[in-house]
Chains A and B, each alone.
Chain A
Amino acid sequence: MRTRPWLLLAPALILLGALLVWPLVRVFLFSLQDYGLREIVTGESNYIGFGNYAEIFANPMLWTVVLPNTIGFAVVAVSATVIFGTLVAMLMASLGTVWRTIVGSAIMVAWAMPAVTGTYVWIWIFDADQGLVNETLKSLGLMDESFNWFTNPFTFYAIVVLNIVHHGFPFVAITVLAGLLGVSKEMLEAAEMDGAGPIRRFFAIIFPTLKPVFSVVIILSTIWDFKVFAQIYLMPGGAGSNRDVLNLGVWSYVESFGQNRYGFGAAIAVLLTVLLLIITAIYVRTLFKEEKE
């Protein structure tokens, strides 16, 4: 019986192992080297110990702009996506089959649209000179001169949050919906008959049952929002010319891969992975501790 779980796990683990273990090790090895294009050509190593890591921590831009932007954005984006997605899931759970399919297909469109295309559409909507938003504001008399939404970091990130939430809430909605439809209806009806209001019902019954689902959704959303790259890189000024809006994804690209400094980029990748592992581990431990009770 002891071997049964490992047998079941074997196919998945073999796949992940054969494909990823060695590359991940190599990423770590790269991070300890001054690894550039020249080293790629010759195939020679060039170890510098923890030099890359030291350089990362010593960079003031990391602490004053990049990390605050990244963490602040992640907190706002994850909260917005998860809350909005959950609300949509609850709405969908209360609908009949026909309307549920209609709403479901509609939100799938938001998820399925290529991220690149979606980003450009939002850029056009907020275009300073001819975008819909500015045109509307000007015709309503709320704006005199065209305002460039992309130069100010707060408005810049507001647009990014809009983009990310729009693209990411369907994932939360569908996943939570799948979980919601598995919640025991009897328990809910019993609670309603006992006089519990919707909010009470949510926190007392739905939320605890759905905890595993929420944990997946929150962890993955956090991981993705920490790594956001294209949606910021493609925005006007987001590719490095506006230093105030740099986030971890863009900053690491500009400093490392954009300059062919693969060792440096690997070091940033390792640090980010470790950071995310810590966050995940904390969350998972909390989740499992409560399950054991």
Chain B
Amino acid sequence: MRRNFGPRTVVKGVVIAALLIFTLFPAYWMISSSFDARASSGGQSLLPQEFTWDNYIFVFNEGRFGVFLRNSFVVAFFTVLISGILALLASVAVARFRFKFRTSVLILVLTVQMVPLEALVIPLFVQVRDLHMLNSLLGLVVVYLAFSLPFAIWMLRGFVAAVPVELEEAAYLDGASWGRMFRSVMLPLVAPGLVATSIFSFIVAWNEFIFAMTLLGGASDTYTVAIGLKQFFGLHSNDWGPVMAASTIITIPVMIFFVIVQRRLSGGLVSGAVKG
């Protein structure tokens, strides 16, 4: 339908441009400051006053961001993977089966998101300590799972419910086991939802600070990038250059993750799958 470059396309182009400017402007500021040697004075200028790579070098050397990046990747990977699996199973249960307490379970699962974090810090810290998972990335993954599951279950529930039962039954009629049906029929149709929840889980695990700092305590070799970012905020002054450089470094992997998974976003109903 690319025949005409009519007014519609022009309007669309303008809208896209405006959207990109709005979205990217703060990020541009961040990146520009990260390359600015004079950023530490919190100055205001659209272009770096004095271009330098020093902030990035500092962040990786003294700031130990190499280690932090590795830790964050590990935590994010497991959070995304496990929350995807657990949420898928749970959402099938909630969407496909009608059982007592279904609504209540759904609402209760969401409670996790409602409780203000600061109130939870001490009790959760004590609990994690009792489970002997302090100072380890494992404990952190478990906590992040708890925080990303509610959204994932809710999201996937809708997608699972949207898959017509006829398709499932058609697969069974063809002689497929439950597992086979799940992989060939349900998974592709649920894929877009899975993508959205993966991105969400990734960001939760990637940017979360309070619990990371509380549960990892003094084991600074296990720190994540979110904790690493805060080290540049001092008691009496802030190191803006490294702050911006670290922030830029933190932003990039999420973008890459999105580019990788977004291909799966357009799963949707395969045309012709439903007969009649």
Seen from chain A, the residues whose Cβ lies within 8 Å of a Cβ on chain B are: 2, 4-9, 11-13, 15-16, 18-20, 22-24, 26-27, 30, 40, 88, 91, 94, 99-101, 103-118, 120-122, 124-125, 127, 130-132, 135, 166, 170-171, 174-175, 177-179, 181-186, 209, 212-213, 215-216, 219-220, 223-224, 227, 249, 252-253, 257, 262, 265-266, 268-270, 272-273, 276-277, 280-281, 284-285, 288
Of B86, B113, B250, B267, the residue contacting A112 (CB under 8 A) is B250
Question: Are the C-beta atoms of B259 and A182 separated by less than 8 Å?
Answer: no
Question: Are the C-beta atoms of A182 and B192 separated by less than 8 Å?
Answer: yes
Can you name 8 A-B pairs with beta carbons within 8 Å?
A104-B262, A114-B247, A177-B196, A178-B155, A178-B193, A212-B161, A219-B154, A223-B114
Q: How far is the CA of A99 from the CA of B13 in the complex (A)?
A: 11
Q: How far is the CA of A106 from the CA of B17 in the complex (A)?
A: 11
Which A residues lie within 8 Å of B22 (CB)? 166
Instruction: Tell me if B181 counts as interface (CB < 8 A to partner A).
Output: no
Which A residues lie within 8 Å of B60 (CB)? none
Which B residues lie within 8 Å of A130 (CB)? 43-44
Question: Are the C-beta atoms of A109 and B29 separated by less than 8 Å?
Answer: no
Name, among B23, B145, B162, the residue most crowded by chain A CB atoms within 10 Å (CB to CB).
Answer: B23
Q: Whose C-beta in chain A lies nearest to the C-beta of B99?
A: A5
B251 CB to nearest A CB, Å = 5
B59 CB to nearest A CB, Å = 13
Q: Whose C-beta in chain B lies nearest to the C-beta of A171?
A: B200
Instruction: Tell me if B19 counts as interface (CB < 8 A to partner A).
Output: yes
A34 CB to nearest B CB, Å = 15
Instruction: Tell me if B177 counts as interface (CB < 8 A to partner A).
Output: no
Q: What is the total number of residues of chain B having a CB less than 8 Å from a CB of chain A?
A: 90
Question: Are the C-beta atoms of B189 and A182 separated by less than 8 Å?
Answer: yes
With known contacts A12-B89, A12-B149, A216–B154 Cβ distance under 8 A: yes
Question: Are the C-beta atoms of A110 and B23 separated by less than 8 Å?
Answer: yes
Q: Whose C-beta in chain A lies nearest to the C-beta of B20?
A: A106
Of A12, A15, A40, A99, the residue contacting B142 (CB under 8 A) is A15
Q: Whose C-beta in chain A lies nearest to the C-beta of B259?
A: A105
Of A30, A40, A270, A280, the residue contacting B107 (CB under 8 A) is A280
Q: How far is the CA of A119 from the CA of B140 in the complex (A)?
A: 26
Seen from chain B, the residues whose Cβ lies within 8 Å of a Cβ on chain A are: 12, 15-16, 19-20, 22-24, 26-27, 29-30, 42-44, 86-87, 89-90, 92-94, 96-97, 99, 103, 105-107, 109-116, 118-120, 122-124, 126-128, 131, 142-143, 145-146, 149, 151, 153-155, 157-159, 161-162, 189, 192-193, 195-196, 199-200, 203, 206-207, 226, 229-230, 243-244, 247, 250-251, 254-255, 258-259, 262, 265-269, 271
Q: Whose C-beta in chain B lies nearest to the C-beta of A265?
A: B119
Question: Are the C-beta atoms of A27 and B120 separated by less than 8 Å?
Answer: yes
Question: Are the C-beta atoms of A249 and B116 separated by less than 8 Å?
Answer: yes
Of A112, A276, A288, the residue contacting B103 (CB under 8 A) is A288
B79 CB to nearest A CB, Å = 12
Question: Are the C-beta atoms of B151 and A20 separated by less than 8 Å?
Answer: no
Which A residues lie within 8 Å of B109 (CB)? 12, 16
Question: Are the C-beta atoms of B16 and A112 separated by less than 8 Å?
Answer: no
Q: How far is the CA of A252 from the CA of B116 in the complex (A)?
A: 10
Question: Are the C-beta atoms of B149 and A273 separated by less than 8 Å?
Answer: no
A162 CB to nearest B CB, Å = 10
Question: Are the C-beta atoms of A15 and B146 separated by less than 8 Å?
Answer: yes
